Amino acid sequence: MTTDPPELSEKLVNSGQGAAANAADIPVSNRAAANEISGEGENSDDGEDQPAVSVDVSAAKKKKNKKKKPKKKQPKTQTDPPSIPISQLFPNNTYPKGEEVEYKDDNRYRTTNEEKRHLDNLNSDFLSDYRQAAEAHRQVRQWAQRSIKPGQTLLEIANGIEDSARRLVGHDGLTEGDSLIAGMGFPTGLNIDNVVAHYSPNAGCKTVLKESNVLKVDIGIHVGGRIVDSAFTMAFDPVYDNLLAAVKDATNTGVREAGIDVRVGELGGLIQEAMESYECEINGKTHPIKAVRNLCGHTILPYSIHGTKTVPFVKSNDTTKMEEGDVFAIETFGSTGVGRYVEGGEVSHYALRGDTNRKDLTLASARNVLGAIKKNFSTIPFCRRYLDRIGQEKYLLGVC
């Protein structure tokens, strides 16, 4: 997807318990523990004229028999880059809650009616899986924000993020079906300048991040099919600060105003109002920031990043209501251009359609790769690099 001048995207997963993160997209023209050891020794005296020394034998025995207290194990701390599985950092499977956003006063009835009843009936695995994935996402995201610098290739950045994510959820995805237990929720999106979304570097990509670029980083991590989808934008030139501020404000507005019975068309209007209250000056020219009209936030289903409901960034007549149990990715994209995207660019994301039948495929390569996709990714989006990792060869014609 590409658009006109600088655009930003920001998204936050809203699942009722607050898991998630920020994003911004812009297209054209984002110990040392020293163990101190002390020892006591005995002096042997061979001379006959040495003075007698009285010894309290009972006290000596007590001292000798005194057991040393076992040293307390220091809590594990994360490495840099992150590599210790989240389950080892939180051994009781009690993962931290994400940020929780309170309803406004006029919406507080929701916490005592449908939503409360739904939460009371939630399977504990639902929250545990989401919170584990969210904590893994938070740690990977924070590391990426510290480590991404101009001069790196997009391929280096993507592999670094994905290798860390897989280590943190404890599944490298190299054995059949392993990546369906936990792993990447979709290929890491690395979208530069006017590329809005859905680009991940393919093998051999030599694109290098420049100081002048605006980079949108979109990361998805899942545990048990519960996908945490969150993104952020990096801009190395402060000229784009207002653009980043606009999408953050819009996303925070969307999360704050979301809830049971909220109509998505009205929510889009509130997001648009926040976004378009900003402007950005580039090369002496002031650009009003516009919400990208033909992109939307969306619900997330188990093992499926795009559900059936959408949340627009602009006011619309869509009367669809948010309901208890829905999981939404609140995404916002702002642009200094015309505020629309067009399809184009290299294909890098693939996903299995539910109606795909192996018998309908005439090419042997297509049937082989379909079998590998079903066993390793199912309906989770993937990219060519993921097929390379599991040893697939000569598959390109089969996925086209």
Residues 143-161: pLDDT tens digits?
999 999 999 999 999 999 9
222/249 same-domain check: no
What is the pLDDT of the chain when averaged over all its residues? 83
Final residue before a domain boundary, out of 207, 236, 265: 236
For residues 348 and 346, what is the distance between their CA atoms, to the nearest angstrom? 6
User: What H or E segment, with its residue span, contains residue 119?
Assistant: helix 114-121
Q: Which residues are annotated as a binding site?
A: 198, 218, 229, 298, 306, 331
Please report, for residues 15, 188, 255, 398, the alpha-carbon distance to residue 252 in angstroms, rounded to integers and kept in the order given.
14, 23, 5, 42
Structural domain containing residue 87: 76-96+114-236
Q: Is the distance from CB of 4 to CB of 338 less than 8 angstroms? A: yes
* 9-53 pLDDT tens trace: 444 433 333 333 333 333 332 333 222 222 333 333 444 444 433
Percent of the chain whose predicted confidence (pLDDT) is above 90: 63
Q: Which residues are annotated as a binding site for substrate?
A: 198, 306
3-state secondary structure (DSSP) of residue 241: helix
Pairing of strands 2-3, 341-342: antiparallel
pLDDT at 395: 87
270/303 same-domain check: yes
* 213-260 pLDDT tens trace: 999 999 999 999 999 999 999 999 999 999 999 999 999 999 999 999
154/268 same-domain check: no
3-state secondary structure (DSSP) of residue 37: coil
Assigned domain for 39 exists = no
**Could you tell me the CATH number of the domain that includes residue 329?**
3.90.230.10
204/82 same-domain check: yes
Angle at alpha carbon of residue 387, lines to 383 and 391, rounded to 5°: 165
250/293 same-domain check: yes
pLDDT at 363: 84
* 100-141 pLDDT tens trace: 887 766 655 555 666 666 665 566 678 899 999 999 999 999
Domain count across the chain: 2
pLDDT at 364: 85
How far is Cα of residue 388 from the mean position of the Cα atoms in its chain? 23
223/249 same-domain check: no
Final residue before a domain boundary, out of 216, 236, 256: 236
Assigned domain for 219 exists = yes
pLDDT at 239: 96
DSSP code, position 332: E
Assigned domain for 222 exists = yes
pLDDT at 73: 60
180/305 same-domain check: no
Q: Which residues are annotated as a binding site for a divalent metal cation?
A: 218, 229, 298, 331
Assigned domain for 150 exists = yes
229/245 same-domain check: no
